[in-house]
A and B are shown apart, each in its own frame.
Chain A
Amino acid sequence: MAKIDKNFLDIGYTDHLSRQLTPIHQLDPRAKLVTTLVFITTVVSFGKYEISALVPFFIYPVVLAAMGNLPPAYLLKKILLVSPFALLIGIFNPLIDRDILINLGDIRIAGGWVSFTSILIRFILTVGAALVLIAVTGFNAVCMALQKLGVPKVFVVQLMFLHRYMFVLVEEASRMVRARSLRSLGNGGAGIKTYGPLVGHLLLRTMDRAQRIHLAMCCRGFDGQIRIMKPLKIRPIEIGFIFGWSALFIFMRFFNIPLLMGNTITEFLR
């Protein structure tokens, strides 16, 4: 329970981070969204045994996080906390793919371990990029960007409602759970018999609330259309941001920079 409370404090913190005023924060959200998507697509487009060529891609989340004034420890912690589905599935690779892929002197490394490491790196890169995106952009700005990029308004508007009332309802839910655990004294009380009414009540209250919100909207002239005043502007700097990064990603996709550098260094040492 406490963990979940904390999780939501975390969202609040992400929201807080997203309201800074660094140059990265001030970029049009569309530029950041599009660039991040290009980034993720490029990262996952590598073959499954790729490791070294993926490394330079850390530059994107690192630079954004640094310029966006995001605390690295916080990001790392969040990446570690993330649902581990990818790792659960990935860990089967070393068990199944036992063909030796790398001979490093006497050390032989199976293909499975290589691909597992690759999954790990992809995981950190993609999750990191998504977290950085939201922390330097803010949820509502992402919503605005989605809308401007052609996502249906109905969807965008209820994304915003979801985000707004998430905080309210989670607080309500945690109060209820607290009340339940205070009175169930360790045994019973948390079974399905109490669960139904507990969650059911929350749901009924939620639906009543939705009705009151609708009422409040009607009182202020709601006619089925949500209008938001938020001028988004693509300036040359946004164009530069998108194309600059994308060009770098594509370059890094085709040229294995670490390998080239490593070669140069080992050549030199020889």
Chain B
Amino acid sequence: MHMADALISPAVGGAMWAASAGLIGYCSKKVKQDLDDRKIPLMGVVGAFIFAAQMINFTIPGTGSSGHLGGGMILAILLGPYAAFLTMASVLTVQALFFADGGLLALGCNIFNLGFFPCFVAYPLIYKKAVGRNPGEARLFTGAIISAVVGLQLGAFSVVLQTVLSGISELPFVTFVLLMQPIHLAIGIVEGLATTAVVIFVGRARPEIITAAAESAHIGRVSIKKVIVGLLAATILTGGALSWFASSYPDGLEWAMSKTSGSDELASSQKGLHTSLAHIQEKTAFLPDYGFKAEEIETTTEIRKSWPAVDAGTTVSGLVGGTVTLLLAGLIGYTLKRRKQKLKTQPVDASDV
């Protein structure tokens, strides 16, 4: 359920980036205050463990499918919320960069959805309450499953919100919720099972690891209120600022407006007789409108006219132009490559096999 660049708007992506960046800064500060420099290699290596563990599957009885460890919950149990959040964030960063899982702009969303909820909501409010200081196996089991499920449910809900707010997908809110939540209930249970299986094993083999993590009260206690207030502020500020910017570029919004105001008018609007010159004029003319006189009524009609890909004429032009541009881009790439090969620049690092 990695959120993807292709589905989000800059406002949502930017807001979530701000929120996640804020959290990373806050957690880094906390981890540094902790003064336990053993944590530095530990976090990185356990992050690598999450990667490796995600390759190990187990079969889910009766379904024929298989599941694996997700990450957020077990990290929180092992490292405490702050270090766990940072570790999860770096796992997601590596996934975004190497597997292009999600993407760079959506990274903020993903860190928030998969890091914040397990580490700062499910772990302190559910797991810690359920398990307490002397983790028995039954309590551990319940705590891990419920918190994994809740963490993922919140994360999935957050994906829905982000997608709907971005407005790229057409899925209506309710349908999307009904689609996402049950799927993630199943995923949550599987993740909870995997987490418990591992935590119980570790608890038996080396109980001190689990108890130490449970007892490290001062890094385990999270002032949820502070975190949430700060986050809300950051999110609203950036989100607000960005959507103000975005709305001064009327594309998406205008389109929705014109659609409701009467689409037949649009469809019947004149054949594509705009010459390219007129187009350029129109473009340059209406460029300043974006920021300054968006409220004028004329602009809306003008925008409607210039909205690309509406009537057959512009569509044909768009298709022709698009194809030509694509070919051009390919050609540029090809020539650059050919020229390089001719020049036979530096070979690929000679020492590499």
What is A's interface to B at a CB cutoff of 8 Å?
1, 4, 7, 11, 14, 16, 19-22, 36-37, 40-41, 43-53, 55-56, 58-59, 62-63, 65-67, 69, 72, 78-79, 82-83, 85-86, 89-90, 92-93, 96-97, 99-105, 112, 114-115, 118-120, 122-123, 126-127, 129-131, 133-134, 139, 142, 151-155, 157-166, 168-170, 172-174, 176-177, 190-192, 194-204, 206-207, 209-211, 213-214, 217, 222-224, 226, 254-267
* A119 cross-chain contacts in B, Cβ below 8 A: 6-7, 168-169
- In the assembled complex, 12 residue pairs joining A and B whose CB atoms fall closer than 8 Å, in A order, are A19-B348, A21-B349, A51-B322, A67-B340, A127-B103, A166-B51, A174-B55, A176-B56, A190-B59, A207-B46, A214-B42, A258-B323
* A4 cross-chain contacts in B, Cβ below 8 A: 55
A259 to B275, CA, bound (A): 11
* B326 cross-chain contacts in A, Cβ below 8 A: 55, 58
Tell yes or no: B173 within 8 A of A by CB: no
Contact B55 A177 (CB under 8 A): yes
Q: If A47-B252, A51-B309, A199-B197 touch, does A165 touch B168 (CB 8 Å cutoff)?
A: no
Q: How far is the CB of A171 from chain B (nearest CB, A)?
A: 8
What is B's interface to A at a CB cutoff of 8 Å?
1-10, 13-14, 24-25, 28-29, 31-32, 35, 37-38, 40-49, 51-53, 55-59, 61, 66, 69, 78, 86-87, 89-91, 93-94, 96-105, 163, 167-172, 193-194, 196-198, 200-202, 205-206, 209, 246, 249, 251-252, 255, 259, 263, 267, 272, 274-276, 279-280, 283, 287, 308-326, 329-330, 332-334, 336-337, 340, 345-346, 348-349, 352
Q: If A169-B52, A200-B201, A224-B40 touch, does A92 touch B317 (CB 8 Å cutoff)?
A: no
Contact A265 B55 (CB under 8 A): no
**A260 interface neighbour in B98, B321, B340, B345, Cβ under 8 Å:** B321
Contact A89 B163 (CB under 8 A): yes
Contact A262 B319 (CB under 8 A): yes
Contact A165 B325 (CB under 8 A): no
* B2 cross-chain contacts in A, Cβ below 8 A: 83, 85
* A214 cross-chain contacts in B, Cβ below 8 A: 37-38, 40-42
Contact B308 A196 (CB under 8 A): no
> Sorted from nearest, which 3 A-B pairs have the closest CB atoms?
A161-B44, A262-B321, A258-B321
Dominant SS among interface residues on chain A: helix
**B55 interface neighbour in A51, A65, A114, A170, Cβ under 8 Å:** A170
Contact B5 A126 (CB under 8 A): yes
Q: How far is the CB of B137 from chain A (nearest CB, A)?
A: 11
